[in-house]
Amino acid sequence: MRPLALVYALLDQAPQIDVVHLDAALALWNFCVASACHIFGDIVGNPIADTVLRALRAAGAIGLSRTELLDLFGRNLSASKIDAALVALLSAGKVRRGSIKKTAGSGRPREMWFAV
């Protein structure tokens, strides 16, 4: 932030960086962040994570299981790569994990993933 404030101070021919220069630098920075969000939207930058997020949004409240996520990539992608994508989305707050009980006596609940 200080390099931007320095540019504003130099343009202002001020002998030092003042609050007004810091405010101007912060305003420019906030504008850049807002512009990037507008242009790039919700993409994470990881093609696998972006594909998973689009699929989860399309699935809506139903969500997708791990098996369905593997099927999304034609089972041609390792589970560890899908796991890494899910961790990235989870840490970014874009997805949540849940579980659905199977029918009585059929084992553990299915892990489900949902877009936030």
Mean pLDDT of 64-85: 92
Mean pLDDT across the chain: 89
User: What is the structure's pLDDT at 103?
Assistant: 67
Q: Are residues 51 and 33 in the same domain?
A: no
Any long-range contacts for 14-22 (C-beta under 8 Å, 24+ apart)? none
Handedness of CA 106, 109, 113, 116 (dihedral sign): positive
User: Model confidence at 107, in pLDDT bands (50, 70, 90)?
Assistant: confident
Q: Are residues 55 and 26 in the same domain?
A: no
Full residue range of the structural domain in which residue 19 is found: 2-40
Number of structural domains, the chain? 2
Q: Which helix (H) or strand (E) holds 53?
A: helix 47-59
Q: Distance between CA atoms of 43 and 68, rounded to whole angstroms?
A: 21
pLDDT greater at residue 45 or residue 86: 86
